[in-house]
Amino acid sequence: MGDGLDLLDGVGAVVKSPGVPPRAPVVAAARERGIPVLGELELGWRLVDVPFVAVTGTNGKTTVTEWLAHTLRLAGLDVAAAGNVGTPLTSLVPAPPELVVCECSSYQLADTLEFAPEVGILLNLGSDHLDWHGSLEHYAASKLRLFAHQEPEHVAIAPARVAVPGRARRMDLVPDWRASLPGGHNAVNAGAVAEACRALGVAEEVVQEGLRTFAGVEHRLELLREVGGVRWINDSKATNVASTLTALDATPPPVHLILGGDDAKQEDFTPLAGRAAHVYLVGEAAGRLAEQVGGERCGDLETAVARAAAAARPGETVLLSPACASFDQFKDYEERGRRFAALVEALA
């Protein structure tokens, strides 16, 4: 396969996949020639001419996207949850909904040119994907592009400490403790849902019903089952240290923690040291995790589940919250989570 440079002749614009880095030869060459380069998020937003609520952040994006869609549907709206949550925006073009709730990754936002959602939400801003962005500054700048082109009639929701660009009406992100999901992080997520719904004119009783009735999302602090008094929780979506720390804060001790996976991000794992009663290490990150966190090297998920099942006692929890991406052993975090769920289901 070539580098694609021969395809640029006569091209009016380049639409690239979010995972293609800006340093790719065809992308760099297009920009040098003055050819606009945009991502599928930008293209979908231009083609789907309905109001957008856009959600980004280092952690919690999928939960808030689905929670918002749930609550807005209770209000009687025809809503599509799309973007990084799994449904491409451009797939909505033939029959657009009344409103789109769009999960936006840093990769997708880096490729926007004019994207301006009616409501933009930044949940938090940590450290992630630095192997792709090159620096924390570039990563943060990509996230903040969510707000850059908003107009005064739009709404920007963000933590009070974060300065956002653009001209939208600012709303600080504050917790709402009337949430159906456990943990302080979900109180903040609920606050984002409530503020966005209020900005869209949803009745307060519907907002509160949505906060009470949302059941959560697959692979995010998902309680699979209890076996012999031991709770098994699937948090495969935790692909960075901050997300795993959030999961640990939301899980009563003692915890048997399964960590590891793809080590491309090269994160510092030391904040996880001492946070769990037992640690089981899998994947290519196991070596660095053993040095920085400690724990038992298991190699693969099957071995980790077997050893955790043998060691855990009634009243304890086994938590898969890997703090790593999954690409060393699985296609994605969803496949990893489904494999974990199958192994737990097979336990006697």
Residues annotated as part of the active site: 61, 84, 129
How far, in whole angstroms, is CA 66 from its chain's centroid?
11
Radius of gyration of the chain (CA): 21
Rounded distance between C-alpha atoms, residue 132 and residue 136, angstroms: 10
**In the chain, what are the helix, strand and coil shares in percent, each to the nearest 5?**
35, 20, 45
CA atoms within 13 A on the CB side of 169: 9
Identify the residue whose tokens are 């994160």: 267
Nearest to 90 by CA among 78, 102, 77, 105: 102
The torsion angles phi and psi of 316, rounded to 5 degrees, stand at -100, 170
For residue 19, give the nearest of 102, 135, 134, 133 by alpha carbon: 133
